[in-house]
Chains A and B, each alone.
Chain A
Amino acid sequence: MTLNRRRFLATSAAATGALALPTMALGQSGPIRMGSVLDVSGIFSAYGTPMDMAQRLAVAQINAEGGLLGREVEIIGFDTQSDMALYTQFAQRLVRQERVDVVQGGILSASREAIRQTLRRAETLYFYNVQYEGGVCDRNVFINGVTPAQQAEVLIPWAMSESGPRVYILAADYNYGQITARWIQKYVGDNGGETVGVDFFPLDVSDFGSTIARIQTVSPDLVVAPLVGGPHLSFFRQWAAAGMNERIPLASTTMGVGNEHRVLTPEEGNGIMVAYNYAQELDTPANNAFKEAWAEAYGDTNLIHEIAVSHYMGVKLWAEGVRQAGTTERMPVIEALEDNLSIEGPSGVMTIDPQTHHATLDVHLMRFEDQEMALVESLSQRPPVDTQAVCDLIANPDENTQFEIEI
């Protein structure tokens, strides 16, 4: 969008109007503007493209039901191209030029932290809808992805009981991987195990030969791999190519959220243990309806994955908040969401926890079998206890930190 004189006059007039009449919401008559920043291309496109499809489906459904507050919802979406620098740029643009009512999006934790402060300063409500390392405590943000206490806390003991107590961790080298690795170490210790090695990999590393040899020198019982993005997928290929998949079991906190189990061959993927809030294989009426709607909109349902559904739920949570509040203004919507707002969707019931702005949700232990996720055990309505232990937005509404676990 170029800033021509007419548009400049229009925006500045609107801005002056807003200053003069602070109670009047901007653009009351036009469509409600939902901003989004997602990596629809680049090395994280396997995550971002289905998320974008999911949000378009969610908004189409909302509009088909008559919109929100009688107004249509419009998506102002930017493709951040798997480039962290573009996040800040597009977030600025969403709040300054596009003046959106809410921002949905961000995939990697690095991208979330890149834009969180911008959105907070601009007083624009932000939904981050991806499983992550936990601990974000900010009243401007709502997060509905699984956190370590919801995921690793159950995944690790199960995986250890299927293998043994000596655990080796391979993690992506940025805030998500670093903090998640610490959580995994904690849960390994809590369950009487021992972490025998931790390695971190930059996101563009794709040769894991020496690492696979290194792992064998300490011969762990279990390898846990919170690896992220396309290049890291090579690890699972090379692991299987070395025949290690027959010898040492694998568990992962990220594998499969981007449908990696459908990219790998059955031999490469079989047996990998995971725990997520959603899988296509969940046989619930809500999920079947969701898959039908997706098939109608896009044809192929194969692309649906955990964080796409998470993102879909994020849009629906926000929409419900707007309905309850009767306005798109930030504070009333936050207060409506904080009223233990709850919705049911393809991934089950999701309830906002007012103390942390995280979500209480279902978690399913699963194992890859022939490019599908085979359900092992479902754990109902797990609260985000890790973040609850450090974050209380009711007592400290001005808190603005990401708490990290200490070991």
Chain B
Amino acid sequence: MDLSVVIVIEVLYAIASLALISAGLAVVFGMMKVINLAHGEFMVLGGYATITAVGLGVNIFVAMLVIAPIVVGLFGLVVERLVFRHLYGRMIDTMLASWGLSLMMIGGFKMIFGNTTTGVSGPIPGFSVGNYQVNGYNLFVIVVSVLLLVAMVAVLRGTRFGLVARGTMQRSDMAAAMGHSPDRVYMMTFALGSALAGLAGAVMAPLVGLVPTAGAAFIAKAFITVIAGGPVLVAGLASASGVFGLVNQVFSFLVSPVVGDVALLVAAVVLLRLVPRGITSRFFRGRI
């Protein structure tokens, strides 16, 4: 009984962390169709922002949930103005530019923070479930992730900005004809996606040691999740994370973490063979 509770928490945690690291990419790639290969480095930037802020004496929750998203969001804004806005609609060029950006960012991290592992300790103590001990931070990740998905639905559905953004992504010419500036909408959306990446990196930082090249570990999983999720933003994110998190964790638990990662990739291949355009091209159509 206790064990099943522990396993459920671990599975939920795996799903939540996948959703969290993919959320920013879902906005930037899923909505805007911008292939940002520097997404992993955006996350690492969020992690470093947190570690630096904590080092300066800021409360760790403030650092993770407020400072990191703001820092990375602003960074995203600047980069969008300087680089990405010139390249909308030019997929290969965007990939090249963002890859170059990722290399530059890795180089920058190495120069500023040193090419070595840094980290902060998790702020939440463990707790027991019967005879088992659970990392309290896992629950925190789950809560953050759920709140994030709820907030995304609320913004996209309930606010005027969400409506305008969705409309602009579908037909930017029509949005422009209605008096909205696609340029500004793209700018805000990209900054929002970057902020989400920063949040994800910040929340993951206490769990994993941060190295300048850590972004590579996140980006593959994030892209796989977003692509397998398909065209519908939040439902795609939730369903793809659900499938992959479950598969990954069950195999990690039964066999080993390595087999868990292999199983995740196999599941992705099988899934994309069955539904090439992603889960939400067949299910949950027309949702958000």
**Shortest CB distance A293–B (Å):** 24
Q: How far is the CB of A322 from chain B (nearest CB, A)?
A: 33
Is the CB–CB distance between A45 and B116 below 8 Å? yes
Which chain A residues in 257-282 approach chain B with CB under 8 Å? Answer: 263-265, 268
* Shortest Cβ distance from A205 into B: residue: B257
Which residues of A lie under 8 Å from residue B119 when comparing CB positions? Answer: 233-234, 237, 263
Q: Report the tally of A-B residue pairs with Cβ distances under 8 A.
A: 120
Asked whether A209 lies within 8 Å of B131 as measured between CB atoms, the reply is no
B29 in the interface, Cβ–Cβ < 8 Å? no
CA distance A81 to B257 in the complex (A): 26
Contact B258 A209 (CB under 8 A): no
Task: Note all chain B residues with C-beta closer than 8 A to A42.
Answer: 115-116, 211, 213
User: Is A18 close to B, CB under 8 A?
Assistant: no
Say yes or no: is B136 at the interface (Cβ < 8 Å to chain A): yes
In the complex the two chains form, what is the Cα distance from A207 to B122 in whole Å?
A: 13
Contact B256 A199 (CB under 8 A): yes
Among candidates A49, A210, A234, A263, residue contacting B252 with C-beta atoms closer than 8 Å: A210
A376 interface residue, CB < 8 Å from B? no
Rounded to whole angstroms, the CA-CA distance of A229 and B117 in the bound complex is 9
With a cutoff of 8 Å between Cβ atoms, the chain A residues found around residue B253 in the complex are 210, 213-214
> Is A231 in the interface zone, CB < 8 Å from B?
yes
Q: Which B residues are in CB contact (< 8 Å) with A230?
A: 116-117, 209, 211
- Chain B contact residue count (CB 8 A cutoff): 42
Interface window among A184-192, A241-249, A378-386, A390-398 = A241-249
By beta carbon, the residue of chain B nearest A233 is B209
| A217, closest chain B residue (CB) | B3
Instruction: Give the size category of A's interface with B.
Output: 35 or more
B257 touches A201 (CB 8 A): yes
A202 part of interface (Cβ distance < 8 Å): yes
Is A202 a contact of B127 with CB atoms below 8 Å? no
A41 touches B209 (CB 8 A): no
Taking a contact as CB atoms under 8 Å apart, the answer to whether B117 and A46 are in contact is: yes
Question: Which of chain B's residues have a CB closer than 8 A to the CB of A268?
Answer: 121
Prevailing SS type, chain B contact patch: mixed
* A339 at the B interface (CB under 8 A): no
Of A199, A206, A211, the contact of B209 (CB 8 Å cutoff): A206
Minimal Cβ-Cβ distance residue in B for A232: B209
Confirm or deny: B278 has a beta carbon within 8 angstroms of a beta carbon on chain A: no
Q: Say whether B257 contacts A212, CB under 8 Å.
A: no
Partner of A45, one of B13, B115, B207: B115
Q: Are B209 and A241 in contact (CB under 8 A)?
A: no
**Is B249 interfacial (CB-CB < 8 Å)?**
yes
Q: Does A405 contact B (CB under 8 A)?
A: no
Distance to closest chain A CB from B207 (angstroms): 7
Q: For B217, what are the chain A residues with a Cβ–Cβ distance below 8 Å?
A: 204, 206
Q: Check A43 for interface membership: any CB of B closer than 8 A.
A: yes
**CB-contact partner of A243 in B13, B110, B125, B249, under 8 A:** B125
Q: Once the chains bind, are B117 and A244 in contact (CB under 8 Å)?
A: no
Complex contacts, B213 vs chain A, CB 8 Å: 42
Looking across the interface, which residue of chain A has its beta carbon closest to that of B115?
A: A41
B209→A234 contact, CB < 8 A? yes
Per-position 1/0 for B136-172, Cβ under 8 A of A: 1110000000000000000000000000000000000
Task: Across the A-B interface, give the 5 residue pairs with the lowest CB-CB distance, nearest first.
Answer: A230-B117, A243-B126, A41-B115, A206-B208, A210-B252
Known: A213-B134, A234-B119. 4 other contacts (CB 8 A): A207-B207, A209-B138, A212-B133, A238-B122
What are 29 sample pairs from A and B whose C-beta atoms fall under 8 A apart? A45-B116, A200-B256, A201-B257, A204-B217, A207-B257, A208-B257, A209-B10, A209-B14, A210-B14, A210-B249, A210-B252, A210-B260, A211-B252, A211-B257, A212-B133, A216-B133, A231-B208, A233-B117, A234-B207, A237-B121, A238-B122, A238-B135, A238-B207, A242-B136, A243-B127, A244-B126, A244-B133, A263-B119, A268-B121
